[in-house]
């Protein structure tokens, strides 16, 4: 090597392999994860000592005899439940707030507490593009002090080694509140109400950040009479309602009625707390809706079938603005992600007050470097 630096010809060993031409097309960054097992395929809960339910999101349950509690479990993903991809806020796919209602009502039905007294949402549940989310719903024992009420909690996680995230807490009861009364929707369209245009409603929602796909574009007609809003909603024909108490997309479409009177340039609002929710009928794919504003943030919602028979009632729903930046951060998980090396700049000796003894010095010798300069460089 010393002769080579002084321009002496050197014969290098010839490699035994020949260079290979690289492809001319650009490399494409793609993940090739294993697909989820389709719902119901080889996943019979009874083989694991669990009880099978027919709910699409919570197919398994088990009662704990010592604590008198009940646990409901299931999984969801965009592959097994593709309709969830049609509910996004500024690009982040979220489990609809109405889905928590159906999950809680399902737990209440199996524990003989069919009425949802209250449910408060703590943290949004973001749905990843390729991963599966585990659901865990638990109900507790009755407390005599709460008058036949039992607690209910909803948790999720994306992997077995990740901690559980609490999404909602509430209470289930044996009877509906006396204040929860179904509206009379047998006369339709409502007399004296002004018909509202809904043709461009979902385009307006999209400009504000509420991105609804076909499965969630269920509002077909609307009317207004002061603080009273009326609407007709219908699920996409491809939506299967089997197993749901009330399909989340149907109940979510009922809330879209509020968009008729909201400023589309305002903040994105999501459900925060639900009170006095009663389910009267299951399997609905279309409904009449009556929404009444109780104040600036709270509404009352009633749903009936196309003959005016009650489907569900919500005594009070509180909506709150949401920080879309926090939603995007909540959807970022480091599990099963690919990491990269990132170099960190380090100050050189002599920069500022840096002690030169804290760094190693390198001397680069090139062709033509005088031998007398080497000791000075070192």
**Paired sense of beta strands 51-52 and 69-76, if any:** unpaired
Residue 179: what pLDDT? Answer: 60
Query: Is the Cβ–Cβ distance between 193 and 167 less than 8 Å?
Result: no
Domain residue spans of the chain: 45-330
**Measured distance CA(36)–CA(26) in Å, rounded:** 29
pLDDT value for 86: 97
- Per 3-state DSSP, what percentage of the chain is helix, strand, and coil (rounded to 5)? 20, 30, 50
Phi, psi (degrees; rounded to nearest 5) at 88: -135, 150
Structure letter (DSSP) for residue 354: -
Q: What are phi and psi of 256, to 5 degrees?
A: -65, -15
pLDDT of res. 311? 97
Which letter does DSSP use for residue 214 in this model?
G
Angle at 324 between CA 319 and CA 328, to 5 degrees: 130
Question: What is the model's pLDDT at position 40?
Answer: 46
**What does the chain come to in residues?**
378
Q: For domain 45-330, which CATH number applies: 3.10.290.10, 1.10.486.10, 3.40.50.300, 3.10.129.110? A: 3.10.129.110
Q: What is the pLDDT of residue 41?
A: 45
Cis peptide preceding 189, ω within 30 of 0: yes
Phi-psi region of 317 (alpha: psi -120 to 50; beta: other; left: phi over 0): beta
Phi, psi of 158 (to 5 degrees): -100, -10
The tokens describing 106, both together, are: 């399902």
pLDDT of residue 19: 76
DSSP conformation class of 149: B
CA–CA separation, 176 and 180 (whole Å) = 7
In this structure, what DSSP letter does residue 372 have?
T
Helices (H) and strands (E) in the chain, counts: 6, 17
In 3D space, the residue among 150, 167, 59 whose CA is nearest the CA of residue 108 turns out to be: 150
Question: pLDDT 10s digit of each residue in the chain, 378 long?
Answer: 567 777 777 777 776 777 778 777 777 777 777 665 554 444 677 777 788 899 999 999 999 988 889 999 999 999 999 999 999 999 999 999 999 999 999 999 999 999 999 999 999 999 999 899 999 999 999 877 777 899 999 999 997 788 999 999 999 999 877 666 677 899 998 899 999 999 999 999 998 889 999 999 999 999 999 889 999 999 999 999 999 999 999 999 999 999 887 654 466 788 999 999 999 999 999 999 999 989 888 999 999 999 999 999 999 999 988 776 666 665 555 555 566 678 888 777 655 555 545 556 666 666 665 655 555 555
């Amino acid at each position: 090597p010393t002769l080579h630096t002084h321009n002496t010809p050197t014969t290098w060993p010839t490699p035994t392999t020949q260079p290979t031409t690289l492809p001319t097309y650009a490399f494409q960054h793609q993940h090739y994860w294993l697909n989820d097992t389709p719902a119901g395929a080889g996943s019979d809960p009874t083989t694991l000592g669990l009880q099978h339910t027919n709910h699409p999101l919570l197919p398994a349950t088990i009662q704990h005899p010592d604590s008198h509690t009940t646990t409901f479990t299931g999984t969801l993903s965009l592959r097994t439940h593709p309709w969830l991809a049609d509910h996004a806020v500024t690009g982040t796919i979220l489990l609809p707030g109405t889905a928590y209602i159906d999950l809680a009502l399902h737990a209440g039905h199996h524990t003989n507490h069919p009425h949802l007294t209250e449910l408060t949402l703590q943290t949004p549940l973001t749905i990843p593009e390729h991963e599966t989310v585990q659901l865990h719903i638990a109900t507790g024992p009755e407390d005599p002090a709460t008058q036949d009420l039992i607690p209910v909690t909803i948790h999720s996680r994306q992997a077995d080694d990740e901690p559980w995230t609490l999404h909602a807490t509430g209470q289930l009861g044996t009877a509906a509140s006396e204040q929860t009364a179904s509206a009379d929707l047998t006369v339709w369209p409502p007399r004296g109400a002004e018909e509202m245009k809904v043709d461009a409603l979902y385009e307006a929602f999209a400009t504000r950040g509420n991105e609804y796909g076909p499965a969630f574009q269920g509002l077909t007609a609307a009317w207004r009479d002061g603080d009273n809003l009326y609407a007709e909603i219908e699920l996409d024909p491809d939506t299967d309602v089997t197993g749901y108490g009330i399909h989340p997309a149907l109940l979510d479409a009922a809330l879209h009625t509020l968009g008729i009177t909201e400023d589309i340039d305002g903040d994105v609002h999501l459900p925060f707390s639900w009170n006095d929710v009663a389910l009267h009928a299951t399997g609905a794919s279309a409904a009449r809706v009556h929404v009444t504003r109780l104040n600036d943030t709270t509404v009352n919602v009633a749903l009936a079938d196309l003959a005016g028979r009650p489907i569900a009632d919500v005594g009070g729903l509180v909506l709150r603005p949401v920080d879309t930046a926090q939603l995007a951060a909540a959807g970022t998980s480091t599990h099963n992600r690919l990491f990269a090396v990132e170099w960190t700049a380090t100050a050189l000796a002599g920069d500022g007050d840096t002690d030169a003894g804290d760094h190693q010095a390198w001397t680069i010798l090139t062709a033509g470097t005088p031998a007398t300069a080497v000791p000075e460089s070192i």
